[in-house]
Amino acid sequence: RFLWCFFFYIPDVNSFAARTNTCGELRAAHIGQEVTLCGWIQYQRQGLFLVLRDFQGLTQIIIPQDEAHSHVRKLLSNAPVESVVRVTGIVSSRPPGQENLKMPTGDIEVKVETAEVLNFCKKLPFEIKDFIKKSEALRMQYRYLDLRSSQLQHNLRLRSQVVMRMREYLCNHHGFVDVETPTLFKRTPGGAKEFLVPSREVGKFYSLPQSPQQFKQLLMIGGLDRYFQVARCYRDEGSRPDRQPEFTQIDIEMSFVDQAGIQRLIEGLLQYSWPEERGPITTPFPSMTYEEALADYGTDKPDTRFGMKIMDISDTLRRLDIGFVQNVLSYPHSTAKAICIPRGVEIMDVICRPDGSLKSLLTKFLSEEQQSELIQALNMQVDDVVLLAAGDHKRCSALGSLRLESADLLEAAGMVLRDPAALHFLWVVDFPLFLPKEENPSELESAHHPFTAPHPSDTNLLYSDPTKVRSQHYDLVLNGSEIGGGSIRIHNAEQQRFVLEKVLKEDSEVLSHLLEALEFGAPPHGGIALGLDRLISLIVGSPSIRDVIAFPKSFRGRDLMGNAPDYVTPEELEPYHIHVSWPAAETEAKKN
Amino acid sequence: RFLWCFFFYIPDVNSFAARTNTCGELRAAHIGQEVTLCGWIQYQRQGLFLVLRDFQGLTQIIIPQDEAHSHVRKLLSNAPVESVVRVTGIVSSRPPGQENLKMPTGDIEVKVETAEVLNFCKKLPFEIKDFIKKSEALRMQYRYLDLRSSQLQHNLRLRSQVVMRMREYLCNHHGFVDVETPTLFKRTPGGAKEFLVPSREVGKFYSLPQSPQQFKQLLMIGGLDRYFQVARCYRDEGSRPDRQPEFTQIDIEMSFVDQAGIQRLIEGLLQYSWPEERGPITTPFPSMTYEEALADYGTDKPDTRFGMKIMDISDTLRRLDIGFVQNVLSYPHSTAKAICIPRGVEIMDVICRPDGSLKSLLTKFLSEEQQSELIQALNMQVDDVVLLAAGDHKRCSALGSLRLESADLLEAAGMVLRDPAALHFLWVVDFPLFLPKEENPSELESAHHPFTAPHPSDTNLLYSDPTKVRSQHYDLVLNGSEIGGGSIRIHNAEQQRFVLEKVLKEDSEVLSHLLEALEFGAPPHGGIALGLDRLISLIVGSPSIRDVIAFPKSFRGRDLMGNAPDYVTPEELEPYHIHVSWPAAETEAKKN
């Protein structure tokens, strides 16, 4: 059924432009050719030579010293660093011994014949080298200078290529349709994190959606069959670190599919689009239930690149019969859990001594025999540290966090726990469909969103004991970061109405269009969304998503280059029938 | 320099799904195979057969009549039209004589073995056939039903494919980098049509930009070299017909390029991505100056598919010496112009009679001799109609509109003026850089935007007589619709500052980041933006861009399906420090 032909291509990066080559392109094979290069002066030395830079690399340019070229020499000697020039000259081999093996163009240099300064660069307010070490705020303010760095050039180009490969896979190989959905929509119930956009109708607002969730389901009901979109999404979270008010997700939905279908699709997608420099990835990805993840790692996004799993030592501790521990363990759902930090002595002061005794507050409650039983149960080695916790440990999130903290500390102390090249993809499945509300645990809320379908084995429980219902939600985790999540959706109008009205006790009126759509021949469907910014930052090994976004906002949601958000005049607000509620003090101050 | 390999592929539209084939796929070659199809019941007849539909087509399904299959028969007979079913059965040839040549699957039918109703469709509030003829408002409200139509399926799929081809051309063939730019930015000077987004900082607002103009220039200054983005843009224009508050443009910018470079790039782009069904396109596209376009067609986006050009008949009329015409022509810049409408008699009552005399109000001022001179000057044929206009005709926009109106009327009367298959691409160039402000003609405003570079031959005029400066702006016109526009940009900070401060008298402070960026090594650069919605609607021959957008807004900017924009509670406005200015009457009403 396929007619495939694998092909290689080298994009022509010089087409339509006023150059013959880029600054990263010339090799010994070009020697003797006349070339024209355009770029930025990276470095210039005494009117003798300069290093020209563009997005592809660096080329050494030799400035002619003879009288006939005095004009060229003067021009190039006087142009400050970061000025833009165009030079035409002959590719020559470097004098023997002067080749630079570290430079891809290190075999050659270009002897200038003619040159033109296309734009002079004013003196920079800082040295480029200093700049790199300068505060992030300065780099954000002069983002266009930071973008010239090889790191950001690489990140943005890699991002573009990965997305292009994803599109090829989805569109060309599997018939997905790229459909753009609106970003001016209306508030979703409970959409407290949605930006509002005032309209010209008094009192009416659009809302910038957090995802195209409703639209992609409506597209399935509309028979589109397979949809994807590289979708801009919005979330107003104030100042959470490493979140952006606008972000991008690879948004996918298809009809007549089950959970395994979506998982295989995504594995294929990532395998196809994965950049060669990060090595191949192995599929299928392993899978773990939500229960297992919480029990063993204390989180629903386990970093499985290292051990230090959480151990249940309730039975051992019960046997040891320590008063206050016993007390805790007597409550329902109470357990005692532990993680053993190998060579934890290097980072913490709670240890198993070489003589086999424990250095711990616990020792005063434990006999030597009890100590050795504990050491055995935990399989402790010399210099290991064990962290114990007892209580209602359904979620073990404290030990989960300590596990990650400890790993960071161990690595900071020079130990190797996680191979930086390792790629641990993991599906986390069988999430609960509902969770007790934090502010009122007797009420339920959706663990993800109200459109998630119940697990086929648990459908009946929906009507009898909704707290026990597992869902058909799946998360994709990479090296301990959630990079995607999705679900099979409810396609039955009655079931959707029951979930909204009876379980979640929500006003279904705001979703009446979706409920109605489900009644008019909605196919079974499901989908997923991958967080593109996070995915790319993991691929390039950057700690922050700001390094893979061309113009990111600051922690506070500000654009430091253009100064957004900004004040507007009352006249500009008039068409939208709104005005600003200035705090009393300021209103007062204005009056005076 | 290229390693190319042309390839064909058939996307696998059945991968990961619970079907073996689509409803448009089966042919005689499949006879004997067991297949599973999923789709909507398009038509069902007396429990004997049904027609199953999905995005790819229709397949006839034969319902078994034997006792063993009574369950299947009952199930399928009782499922209403538009219900979703899955059937498994054997592909069989249709009985001789019952083949349907109009149907791609007309050679076969599928004899059902097992069937499942995946979702029942409630009785539709209207017949699907009626629905299609129903008001657009109803179709917008039930957009998901309209999306099932073959027309919208075709439009959205074609759009996806055209954009994918554009990406291949830009990204894979020419090394363009797909960069996402922010949509939460700040107000641009004079950005009266920009939506505002309140932030959590009192009195500060983001703005949804009308285009990524500033960002794409900053990317060039950042050394990205070649940028493109399928960019979501926003424009709050109230209720202009066939405009959408959010729309999409193919946004392109590159460094070290001139006007011809961008033009060749776009010609190549359109040629590469043009769908086969609309036939090949010829490049390069012809070019016309702004002056010529206004003189000959009375518009800067001429529809060159037909003649009826505007003729200057000032000299003839001056000779004819008609009192009140003479009077008009005596003013400076006054001209007399005309269009001759071939066989205009069919649509208008002002004619050239078979006997060579004119039926016109003008005749009472003209001798027979003068009449025949006029007929000759205009090259009028029998039954032609001539429209004359005299006055300050620098722009001739009235005759330009009449020319288009007349063409529409002639075609409505059954004449063929414009070949529906014809594709008249046209570059319009040499626009003026500035135009007098409508409200105050002694002041100047940018004809396009303040970043447009002056024509190289006119640079000196910028400082002496800016009204005479032509720009390096170019528009791309297809069949009389503007489908794109762009320019070479100013890359010199001083020139940019002069334009902003001295010519436009604008406060350059709000653009200080861009002005500063130009000082730090900005390369020469230029770009273009293509209006994707309009382009696709021209390709599919649809009169409205709403037919190529999945979820368009109404004329009034409303989403009729989800009911957006909508009211929000005062509590929801609180974090944004705004409140609604209700009109006095409503506030009063609320009090009571």
Residue range A281-309, pLDDT digits in tens = 999 999 999 999 999 999 999 999 999 99
Q: Locate the chain B residue with the closest alpha carbon to A147.
A: B222
Chain B contacts in chain A segment 449-508 (CB below 8 A):
491-493
Q: What is the pLDDT of residue A5?
A: 45
| Cα-based angle A131, A135, A138 (whole degrees, multiple of 5) | 70
Region of A228 please: left (phi>0), alpha (psi -120 to 50) or beta.
beta
Q: Is A551 on the interface with B (CB under 8 A)?
A: yes
**Residue B347 pLDDT greater than 90, yes or no:** no
- Share above pLDDT 90 across residues of chain A, in percent, rounded to a whole number: 73
Range of lowest pLDDT (A433-442, A539-548, B362-371, B415-424): B362-371
Residue range B208-225, pLDDT digits in tens = 999 999 999 999 999 999
How large is the average pLDDT for residues A243-256? Answer: 96
Query: Phi and psi of A151, rounded to 5°?
Result: -65, -50
Residue whose C-alpha is closest to residue A474's, from A514, A492, A498, A447 = A447
Looking at the partner chain, which of B40, B214, B492 has a beta carbon nearest the beta carbon of A119?
Answer: B492
**Residue B1 pLDDT greater than 50, yes or no:** no
Count the alpha carbons within 13 Å of B552 in the hemisphere toward its beta carbon: 24
Which residues in A lie closer than 8 A to residue B554 (C-beta atoms)? Answer: none
Residues in chain B: 592
Q: Which two tokens stand for residue B93?
A: 């040839």
Q: Give the model's confidence band at B336: pLDDT under 50 very low, under 70 low, under 90 confident, else very high.
A: confident
Chain B contacts in chain A segment 50-109 (CB below 8 A):
53-55, 82-84, 86
Residue range A411-421, pLDDT digits in tens = 999 998 999 88
Query: Cβ contacts of residue B129 below 8 Å, gap of 6+?
Result: none
- Strand, helix or coil for residue B351: strand
Q: What is the pLDDT of residue B393?
A: 61
Residue whose C-alpha is closest to residue A407's, from A302, A483, A311 = A302
Looking at the partner chain, which of B163, B179, B257 has a beta carbon nearest the beta carbon of A17?
Answer: B257
**Residue A95 pLDDT greater than 60, yes or no:** yes
**What's the rounded Cα separation, in Å, for the pair B235 and B342?**
40
Contact A196 B572 (CB under 8 A): yes
Residue range B103-114, pLDDT digits in tens = 999 999 999 999
How large is the average pLDDT for residues B508-532? Answer: 95
Q: Give the model's confidence band at B394: pLDDT under 50 very low, under 70 low, under 90 confident, else very high.
A: low
Residue whose C-alpha is closest to residue A248's, from A262, A266, A235 = A235
**What's the rounded Cα separation, in Å, for the pair B253 and A105?**
27
Q: Is A509 on the interface with B (CB under 8 A)?
A: no
Q: Are strands B57-62 and B177-178 parallel, antiparallel or unpaired?
A: unpaired
**What's the rounded Cα separation, in Å, for the pair B199 and B201?**
5
Residue range A15-47, pLDDT digits in tens = 999 999 999 999 999 999 999 999 999 999 989
Contact A582 B203 (CB under 8 A): yes
Which residues in A lie closer than 8 A to residue B197 (C-beta atoms)? Answer: 195-197, 208, 565
Provide the CATH number for the domain formed by A28-119 in this structure. 2.40.50.140
CATH among 2.40.50.180, 3.40.50.1980, 3.30.930.10, 3.30.70.1400 for A127-273+523-592: 3.30.930.10
Q: What is the pLDDT of residue A591?
A: 56
Q: What is the pLDDT of residue B5?
A: 45
**What's the rounded Cα separation, in Å, for the pair A206 and B242?**
20
Q: What is the pLDDT of residue B382?
A: 82
B306-412 belongs to which homologous superfamily?
GAD-like domain (3.30.1360.30)
Looking at the partner chain, which of B82, B167, B204 has a beta carbon nearest the beta carbon of A164?
Answer: B167
Given a contact cutoff of 8 angstroms between Cβ atoms, the answer to whether A583 and B574 are in contact is: no
**Residue A263 pLDDT greater than 90, yes or no:** yes
**Matching residue, tokens 């032909």:** A5
- Closest-CA distance, B392 to chain A, in angstroms, reads 36
Looking at the partner chain, which of A160, A187, A203 has a beta carbon nearest the beta carbon of B580?
Answer: A203
Tell me the pLDDT of chain A averaged across its residues: 91
Looking at the partner chain, which of B84, B225, B262 has a beta carbon nearest the beta carbon of A523?
Answer: B84
| Residue of B252 and A187 predicted with greater confidence | B252
Range of lowest pLDDT (A513-527, A573-587, B273-287): A573-587
Q: Are strands A246-255 and A226-234 parallel, antiparallel or unpaired?
A: antiparallel
Query: Phi and psi of B5, rounded to 5°?
Result: -150, 115
Given a contact cutoff of 8 angstroms between Cβ atoms, the answer to whether B36 and B87 are in contact is: yes
- Strand, helix or coil for residue B498: helix
Contact B17 A238 (CB under 8 A): no
Given a contact cutoff of 8 angstroms between Cβ atoms, the answer to whether A520 and B80 are in contact is: no
Residue whose C-alpha is closest to residue B317's, from B353, B358, B362, B348 = B362
Q: Is A589 on the interface with B (CB under 8 A)?
A: no
Q: Locate the chain A residue with the closest alpha carbon to B154.
A: A224
**What's the rounded Cα separation, in Å, for the pair B580 and A442?**
36
How large is the average pLDDT for residues B146-153? Answer: 94
Query: Phi and psi of A79, rounded to 5°?
Result: -80, 125
How large is the average pLDDT for residues B73-77? Answer: 95
Q: Give the model's confidence band at A431: pLDDT under 50 very low, under 70 low, under 90 confident, else very high.
A: very high
Instruction: Find the farthest-apart pair of alpha carbons in chain A and give their distance in angstroms, rounded.
Output: 96
Q: Give the model's confidence band at A239: pLDDT under 50 very low, under 70 low, under 90 confident, else very high.
A: low
Q: Mutate which of B10, B131, B156, B206 to disrupt the A interface (most A C-beta within 10 Å)?
A: B206
**What's the rounded Cα separation, in Å, for the pair A344 and A340?**
8
Which residues in B lie closer than 8 A to residue A4 (C-beta atoms)? Answer: 7, 9
DSSP result, A88-132: EEEEEEPPTT---TTSTTTTEEEEEEEEEEEEPBPPPSS-HHHHH
Contact A561 B218 (CB under 8 A): yes
Residue range A324-371, pLDDT digits in tens = 778 888 888 888 888 998 888 778 765 566 676 667 766 777 788 888
Q: What is the pLDDT of residue A394?
A: 63
- Share above pLDDT 70 across residues of chain A, in percent, rounded to a whole number: 92
DSSP result, B122-190: PPPSS-HHHHHHS-HHHHHHTHHHHTTSHHHHHHHHHHHHHHHHHHIIIIIIT--EE----SSB-PPTT
Which residues in B lie closer than 8 A to residue A83 (C-beta atoms)? Answer: 521
Q: What is the pLDDT of residue A2?
A: 44
Given a contact cutoff of 8 angstroms between Cβ atoms, the answer to whether B469 and B433 are in contact is: yes
Region of A266 please: left (phi>0), alpha (psi -120 to 50) or beta.
alpha
The number of angstroms, rounded, from the C-alpha of B454 to the middle of its chain's C-alpha atoms is 28
Range of lowest pLDDT (A151-155, A189-193, A409-413, B209-213): A189-193
Q: Which two tokens stand for residue A421?
A: 């090249």
- Closest-CA distance, A443 to chain B, in angstroms, reads 22
Given a contact cutoff of 8 angstroms between Cβ atoms, the answer to whether A504 and A466 are in contact is: no
**What's the rounded Cα separation, in Å, for the pair B233 and B248?**
6
Given a contact cutoff of 8 angstroms between Cβ atoms, the answer to whether A276 and A169 are in contact is: no
Q: Is A251 on the interface with B (CB under 8 A)?
A: no
**Residue A509 pLDDT greater than 50, yes or no:** yes
**What's the rounded Cα separation, in Å, for the pair A53 and A150?**
10
**Residue A590 pLDDT greater than 60, yes or no:** no
**What's the rounded Cα separation, in Å, for the pair A587 and A570?**
14
Q: Is B146 on the interface with A (CB under 8 A)?
A: yes
Given a contact cutoff of 8 angstroms between Cβ atoms, the answer to whether B140 and B557 are in contact is: no
How large is the average pLDDT for residues A371-387? Answer: 84
Residue range A453-508, pLDDT digits in tens = 999 999 999 999 999 999 999 999 999 999 999 999 999 999 999 999 999 998 88
**DSSP secondary-structure letter at B376?**
H
Residue whose C-alpha is closest to residue A221's, from A13, A493, A1, A507 = A493
**Matching residue, tokens 């003209």:** B366
Instruction: Find the farthest-apart pair of alpha carbons in chain B and give their distance in angstroms, rounded.
Output: 96
Which residues in A lie closer than 8 A to residue B159 (C-beta atoms)? Answer: 178
Chain B contacts in chain A segment 157-196 (CB below 8 A):
157, 159-161, 163-164, 167, 171-175, 177-187, 192, 195-196
- Closest-CA distance, B444 to chain A, in angstroms, reads 23
Q: Is B124 on the interface with A (CB under 8 A)?
A: yes
Contact B16 A174 (CB under 8 A): yes
Q: What is the pLDDT of residue A135?
A: 81
Q: Which two tokens stand for residue B446?
A: 């940018």
Interface size A-B, in CB pairs within 8 Å, comes to 430
Which residues in A lie closer than 8 A to residue B148 (C-beta atoms)? Answer: 222-223
Instruction: Evaluate the omega torsion of the peptide bond into residue B565 and state whether it is cis, within 30 degrees of 0.
Output: yes
Q: Where are the domains positioned within chain B?
A: 28-119, 306-412
DSSP result, B247-283: EEEEEEEEES--HHHHHHHHHHHHHHH--GGG----S
Tell me the pLDDT of chain B averaged across its residues: 90
Chain A contacts in chain B segment 566-585 (CB below 8 A):
566-568, 572-573, 575-583
Give A390's strand partners: A336
Q: What is the pLDDT of residue B151?
A: 93
DSSP result, A209-234: -SSSHHHHHHHHHTT--EEEEEEEEE
How large is the average pLDDT for residues A73-96? Answer: 96
Q: Is A557 on the interface with B (CB under 8 A)?
A: yes
Q: Which two tokens stand for residue A353?
A: 């001594």
Given a contact cutoff of 8 angstroms between Cβ atoms, the answer to whether B254 and B220 are in contact is: yes
Q: Mutate which of A56, A81, A205 to disrupt the B interface (most B C-beta within 10 Å)?
A: A205
**Residue B510 pLDDT greater than 70, yes or no:** yes
Q: Is B232 on the interface with A (CB under 8 A)?
A: yes
Q: Is A420 on the interface with B (CB under 8 A)?
A: no
Highest mean pLDDT, choosing among A132-141, A379-388, B179-188: B179-188
Contact A178 B160 (CB under 8 A): yes
Range of lowest pLDDT (A243-252, B112-121, B352-361): B352-361
DSSP result, B210-257: SSSHHHHHHHHHTT--EEEEEEEEE---SS-TT--SEEEEEEEEEES-
Q: What is the pLDDT of residue B508?
A: 85
Q: How many other CB atoms sit within 10 Å of the CB of residue B267?
A: 18
**Residue A10 pLDDT greater than 70, yes or no:** yes
- Closest-CA distance, B492 to chain A, in angstroms, reads 7
**Residue B232 pLDDT greater than 90, yes or no:** yes
Region of B22 please: left (phi>0), alpha (psi -120 to 50) or beta.
beta
How large is the average pLDDT for residues A219-240? Answer: 92
Which residues in A lie closer than 8 A to residue B551 (C-beta atoms)? Answer: 181-182, 215, 218
**Residue B116 pLDDT greater than 80, yes or no:** yes
- Strand, helix or coil for residue B566: strand
Looking at the partner chain, which of B119, B185, B225 has a beta carbon nearest the beta carbon of A492?
Answer: B119
Q: What is the pLDDT of residue B58?
A: 97
